[in-house]
Amino acid sequence: MKLAVIGTGYVGLVSGVCFALKDNKVICVDMAEEKIEKLKRAESPIYEPGIEELIEQNLREERLEFTSDLGEAVRRSDIIILAVGTPSLPNGEANLQYIEQAAADVGAAMNGYKIIMTKSTVPVGTNEKIREVVARHTRHAFDIVSAPEFLREGSAISDTLHPDRIIIGIDNPELRETMVELHQDFTDNIYVTDIRSAEMIKYASNAFLATKISFINEIANICEKVGADVTNVAVGMGMDKRIGSSFLQAGIGYGGSCFPKDTNALIQIAGNVDYEFKLLKSVVEVNTDQRYMIISKLRESLGQLNGIHVGIWGLSFKPNTDDIREAPSLEIVETLVKEGAFVKVHDPIAMDKFREQFDHEHIQWCSTAEEAALGCDAVCLLTDWDHYRQVDLRMLGSVLRKPVLIDGRNVFSEQQIAESGLEYYSVGRPR
């Protein structure tokens, strides 16, 4: 099939690359010309393991093109995928400006019947707005499809090539066959439903996963007080198939461009129809508080923060990405600096992005984990990069001024800690 993908962020680029791998002809469009020039050289604007090799292969085998000419891409394609960003407005609502603009541009460029498929995360009812906007700009017939995306950063390619399920929202039953044909190379597990339900499935899924995380984080906080170990609790809970073992890893909470944005948007969507989503509001509140757990543990161990030296391991919101959007590290580092602490930070790849967002004379940027720990009163691990699992903890004890390790992601085992002689704090595990 001939596809145009509008927007080359995570969702657009990864979808474009994966559809091309399945022998579709794909044109990826972005208005940022410098991005397109890089992509034509197989240089990815996002950090995602394996993506550049796949772009290169698709370009070589002539299944993938990049352009900033939206009109041409639309005219040469049968299916137009909208994958532009829907960032948060100050009140938490999704900003639909980019998607509405893209819909208008697509409508204006249409030269015949097209299927317009939305992959961006959009509030319930948005696809209908998209239909209205497109209709205002074209005389040609078209159909609208909601196809929300469930890929995770850092494993985006394999999530797209091997998804648990694909959700398709349509209101014209005749589209079912084409949609199944387009997606069946990825999985047979395709659920075709109505458009509004498909839109809601995306928000409900992210909100549910965020709820699991905040739930286990609260269990962890209670475990600390009653002497239980949250890691063991999560294993035992996860053995019940109805609960499932994933997303029960306690820590300093979720970040990233999706859970914080989508939970707030869903609270707002409910609010707009006079429904207070109390449970989800608490999930968000618990998540915010959980970040400060690192600060309270530092206080518990060192007393006041003014003048202390703290090593920070990991800045990205999770491993295998350089994305620091809504990362717990931002608030934690800012708080430390405000309290007068000196901070030495390390991250395998996210330091540049962090520095663009927040810099301060109290921050020292370090090229190794060891350097970030050298001479510090404590080290705080904020991102569970594999890199930190490899660090020799006895070495860590020898370079720290005080042997304090605060593990915000429960990365180290009891045995490793026992052998290290460190004063160790983790989340929801006995000390």
Under the binding rule (CB under 6 A), the answer on residue 151 touching ligand UGA is: yes
Short-list 271, 353, 219, CA closest to 93: 271
- Residue keyed to tokens 């249409």: 110
Token pair, residue 6, equals 């509008």
User: Residue 276: left if φ>0, alpha if ψ -120 to 50, beta else—which one?
Assistant: beta
CB of 401: closest distance to ligand UGA in angstroms? 29
19 touches ligand UGA (CB under 6 A): no
Active site residue 258: yes
Q: Among candidates 71, 59, 61, which has minimal Cα distance to 13?
A: 59
Phi, psi of 406 (to 5 degrees): -110, 110
Considering the candidates 258, 366, 376, 380, report the single residue annotated as catalytic. 258
Looking at the Cβ atoms of 259 and 412, the one nearer to ligand UGA is: 259
**Rounded distance, CA 252 to CA 216, Å?**
11
107 vs 319, beta carbon nearer ligand UGA: 319
Residue partners of 8: CB distance under 8 A and separation at least 6: 16, 28, 29, 30, 35, 36, 39, 45, 66, 83
The kind and range of the H/E element at 380 are strand 378-381
Q: Name the residue nearer to ligand UGA (CB basis): 149 or 407.
A: 149
- Name the minimum Å distance from CB 259 to ligand UGA: 5
Binding mask 223-262 for ligand UGA (x = CB under 6 A): ------------------------xxx-x--xxx-xx--x
Question: Considering beta carbons, is residue 47 or 247 the nearer one to ligand UGA?
Answer: 247
Considering the complex, what minimum distance in angstroms separates the CB of residue 320 from ligand UGA? Answer: 9
Residue 382: exposure state from Cβ atoms within 10 A (0-12, 13-18, ≥19): buried
**At closest approach, how far in Å is the CB of 254 from ligand UGA?**
3
Which of 213, 295, 298, 422 binds ligand UGA (CB under 6 A)? It is 213
- Of residues 297-356, those binding ligand UGA (CB under 6 A): 317-318
Residues that bind ligand UGA (CB under 6 A): 121, 149-153, 206, 209, 213, 247-249, 251, 254-256, 258-259, 262, 317-318
Q: So which residues are the catalytic ones?
A: 258
